[in-house]
Amino acid sequence: MRVRDGRTGHDGPVTRTSPPAPLPGPTRSPLRGVWTAVGAFAAIRALGLLVLALWSRAAGTDAHALLSARWDSLWYARVVESGYDFTLTAPDGRVLSDLAFFPLLPWLERALSAVTPLGPGDAGLVVSALAGLFAAWGMYLLGHHLYGHRAGLLLVVLWAAVPVGIVQSMAYSEALFAALSAWALYAVLRRRWIEAGLLASLAGLTRPVGLAVAAALWAAAAVEARRTRRADARMLTGAVLAPLGAAGYVLWVGARRGSPLAYLDVQAEWGNGFDGGLAYGKFIVAHLGGWSVAPAGLGLVAGTALALWAYVLCVRGRQPLPLLVFTGIVMALALCSSGYFGSKPRLLLSAFPLLLPAALALSRVRAARAVAVVAVLAAGSAVYGASWLNGSGPP
């Protein structure tokens, strides 16, 4: 190959080579996109709350009470007020204990109530609101790290606009757990082992499925150790820290009840157990047997199939192993447990990496079309959430 020599005006051989052009990639700083993602999340959640307020007013119900003083919110409030000493005998004879509820959310509610005039329920709403914003931040960074700005932004808005997204605004632990999980997984992908271990431990103090975060860290550490043929002190420290939250609470319950497996007994009293999905399958079949219940049964089949297909897409899309491990465990515990079946949609809310294939697909279409899709989803989520909370709700 010959090029013109700029000094002589004559062709001559190339004597110098230029460095290769950098590979294309995201040009926007993650921190610049965070504000957009968090703002979009807040807007979608605000729409959901507005529709809930209007719906509740028309129905003669109290939207504030639906968010802060119903179902699990009441159990967390009792822990704040009285500690772990409350049991309730259900109409069917079961003795339900508040030991089933992990302590991080009530700890935060108690701390906030101690320095503000807020009661436990309202403190829980504040915790969830702030946790939701931090969850959006962490999910955006994770999506940006993997696929760029648009995918990260769409991951956040799709998570905000899922049908049961109203739970993110309740005095429940879902938003808090999602925030800790998102940041822990992002730390794992960045190989910040100690940070990931601490966040995983906190996630384990929030919900039983917190061990899924620890398992994700372990999987990443094992792959990294095999690749580098060594395990440094920070990696080992993170791996040790990761399960301490969940393990510590389970052991505390065991000591309190005098049995190392007492937490499983507490869950069994609530009707929760792992049966490989047998009870869930029977529940679906039972809802396919008559005209009055067939629509619900078909909806269950469609929703379950969609979740499973999304996971298949995650695998085929070669998501990082930590995300696949985390999502797989969350899905398995949600779909294969024998607990109350109305809880399953909100239990799957934590499996936000399932939305990455959809976010990536939407990131490749025109912006106007993506905005239209998100707007329809957000409106549908707002209407469904208002109807749901004024009906059966998320137990």
Q: What is the domain partition of the chain in residue ranges? A: 31-389
Task: Identify whether the C-beta of residue 271 lies closer than 8 Å to the C-beta of residue 333.
Answer: no
Work out whether strand 87-89 and strand 11-13 pair parallel, antiparallel, or are unpaired. unpaired
What is the predicted pLDDT for the residue at 21? 34
Task: Identify whether the C-beta of residue 323 lies closer than 8 Å to the C-beta of residue 217.
Answer: no
Longest distance between any two alpha carbons in the chain, whole Å: 98
What is the predicted pLDDT for the residue at 247? 97
Q: Phi and psi of 95, rounded to 5°?
A: -105, 110
Assigned token pair, 288: 């396919």
Q: Which amino acid is at 55?
A: W
pTM: 0.91
Q: Which residues of the chain have pLDDT under 70?
A: 1-29, 287, 289-294, 296-297, 340
CA distance 19 to 108: 53
Output b/e per residue, 66-98; b: 16+ Cβ within 10 A.
bbbbbbbbbbbbbbbeeeeeeeeeeeeeeebbb
Task: Identify whether the C-beta of residue 264 lies closer than 8 Å to the C-beta of residue 250.
Answer: no
CA distance 300 to 303: 5
What is the predicted pLDDT for the residue at 29? 66
CA distance 174 to 209: 11
Assigned token pair, 114: 């101690």
CA distance 192 to 234: 8
Pure H helices in 273-343: 278-286, 294-316, 321-335
What is the predicted pLDDT for the residue at 64? 97
CA distance 362 to 375: 13
What is the predicted pLDDT for the residue at 91? 84
Q: Which amino acid is at 111?
A: A
Render 59-102 in DSSP notation, one character per residue.
HT--HHHHHHSSTHHHHHHHHHHH-S--EEE-TTS-EEEGGGS-
Assigned token pair, 249: 């609470």
What is the predicted pLDDT for the residue at 225? 96
Beta bridge partners of 97: 87
Q: What stretch of H or E contains 259? A: none
Count Cβ atoms within 10 A of the Cβ of residue 156 and give its class: 0-12 exposed, 13-18 middle, 19 or more buried: buried
Q: Write out pLDDT tens, residues 5-28.
A: 433 444 344 333 333 333 333 445
Q: Which amino acid is at 183?
A: W
Task: Give Cα 313 distance to the centre of its chain.
Answer: 18
